[in-house]
Amino acid sequence: MIAVRSAVHAALFLVVNLFTIAVMYLLLDAPFLFAVQIIVYTGAIMMLFLFVLMLIGRDSSDSLIETLRGQRTSALVLGLGFAGLLCAGLARGVGSISAVGL
């Protein structure tokens, strides 16, 4: 699902999401993972990603043009097929689990 049209705004929302994960680590009493999440992922990786987005400098009007005909339709069909395979695999895996007495 695409919530925003701008890639820079999407990257900034990803920064917020990664920071939220860091807060979850802090709430779970894992201060080292909190610091690593902030420094490595939210800090370094996302700033590199934003740098590349700014370097490319795509216009928002470029993303509205569909370059491959039928791309959305084929993506929908493949996504539904993958979801069906995933559900079938989970149903088969859950069905074969037997309850063992504790």
Collapsing DSSP to helix, strand or coil, 11 comes out as helix
33 in Cβ contact with 25 (< 8 Å):
yes
Range in 42-46, 65-69, 76-80 the model is least confident about: 65-69
Looking at per-residue confidence, does 77 or 8 come out higher? Answer: 77
Residue 62 has pLDDT above 70, yes or no: no
The conformation of residue 75, written as its DSSP 8-state character, comes to: H
Name the pLDDT band for 1 (thresholds 50, 70, 90).
low
Per-residue pLDDT tens for 19-44?
Answer: 899 999 999 999 999 999 888 888 88
Residue 76 has pLDDT above 80, yes or no: yes
Q: Could you give the angle at which helices 7-27 and 46-56 cross, rounded to 10 degrees?
A: 180
pLDDT at 82: 93
